[in-house]
Structure 1
Amino acid sequence: MWRIGPAAYEIALPPHLGNLHNVFHVSQLRKYIVDPTHVLEDDDVQIREDLTIGVGPVRILDSQVKQLRGKEIRTVKVLWDEATQEMTWEMEDVMRRSYPHLFTGGKENPSGMTTEGWLENSLKEWVNDIKTPPNN
């Protein structure tokens, strides 16, 4: 680490991190207190040239069909990261093209049901809810 200004430091980075900016303002640095129990495990993370990380979906959690201007728009709720519980609604046809393994009959979800079966049951329940008159 080299001081390159009154409040900036340059840090030597290993070659595989050469595409990261190596100058830091002192407000970003913290003093490290040595602790022998601190063990850093090497994560096998592949960083692309544009500094993004390739993340794939874990599983499909839910599905829905929306009616927009007379068209049916099918979407699926996708779990991207179990640790952070990050999930988003995505277009079903795009997910089918990009991640067909999420829709194969042999692939099971945590409930023990195939994804196709789970989606079919969810749709049947939704239709039954619509057909069932409310209790007054």
Structure 2
Amino acid sequence: MAPYEALYGRKCISPLFWDEVGEWNPLGPEIVQEMRNQVQIKRDRMATVQSCQKSYLDTRRRDLLFEEGDWVYLKVSPMKGVKRFGKKGKLSPRYVGPFQTLEKVGPVAYRIVLPKYFGKIHDIFHVLSLKKSFGQQEPHFLDPKSIQLWPDLTYEVVPTQIMDRKEQQLRSKTIPLVMLSWENLLAQDFSWERETDMRKFYPYLFG
């Protein structure tokens, strides 16, 4: 008698045997074939579940297709003082452009014509990083010449004005905070920052 059977009063169903528990003792090719059959059943069931999940998602998803010569905007991410503070603070994504599509590269990627001042930025982008241009543009579209874009499609923004002040009370100390507006960003991107850091790196805000 196996230890599991002695402890629980029934035989153990191991990953190598999913059949009903009984006294059948398969040997050699029989156990190998049974294992293969059961593994295939599990794979078929998993494939069915994944197919259902994909169909649910596809009902609300639309394919983004661009033709050669279409004008598109490129999604970029403003970062709060990455180089200055050594910490990342990603804000809401923005779009720069427009740029012209050159060709489709693979099922979900496009090559676009980038200006020379973009430097070493690769010119192939996933379709989710692009937005079609339709003439009248929204406020969060930026002039690419107004920012210094990095190869990972981020750029550094600087604060322009102190909008509010408050103090954060901790156990043993009080930390003064300031709410800042950021260059080329909307009110939804106002953020609270430590006043000591802002005085050190952006003294012009307190002049």
Q: 1:5 to 1:63 in 2, by over 3 A?
A: closer
Match of 2:198 among 81, 95, 102: 95
* CA deviation map 1:26-79 (0-9, x unaligned): 9x575x78x7x99xx763322234432221111111111222112111111111
Larger radius of gyration: 2
For 2:184 and 2:111, the matched residues in 1 are separated by 36
Q: Could you tell me which of 99, 112, 118 is aligned with 1:11?
A: 112
In structure 2, the CA distance between the partners of 1:70 and 1:81, relative to structure 1 (3 Å rule), is same
Greater RCO, 1 or 2 (C-alpha within 8 Å, sep 6+) = 2
Tell me the secondary structure at the aligned position of residue 95 of structure 1: helix
| TM-score normalised to structure 1 length | 0.53
Q: What are structure 2's unaligned runs of at least 5 residues?
A: 1-101, 138-142
- Aligned CA distance change for structure 1 residues 54 and 8 (closer, same or farther; 3 Å): closer
Between Structure 1 and Structure 2, the one with more helix by share is: 2
Matching residue of 2:175: 73
User: What are the equivalent positions in structure 2 for 1:48-87 lying under 5 Å apart?
Assistant: 48-81=150-183, 84-85=186-187, 86-87=189-190
Identity %: 32
User: Which is further off, 88-97 or 67-76?
Assistant: 67-76
Runs of at least 5 residues in structure 1 that lack an aligned partner in the other structure: 105-136
Q: TM-score, normalised by structure 2?
A: 0.37
Name the aligned partner's letter for residue 91 of structure 1: R
The CA RMSD over aligned residues, in Å, is: 3.4
Q: For the Cα contact (< 8 Å) 2:167–2:175, is it kept in 1?
A: yes
Alignment of 1:101-120 (within 5 A): 101-104=204-207
Q: Is 2:162–2:180's contact at 8 Å kept on the other side of the alignment?
A: yes
Letter in 2 for 1:2: E
- Aligned residue pairs total 98
Which secondary structure state, in structure 1, belongs to the residue aligned with residue 155 of structure 2? coil
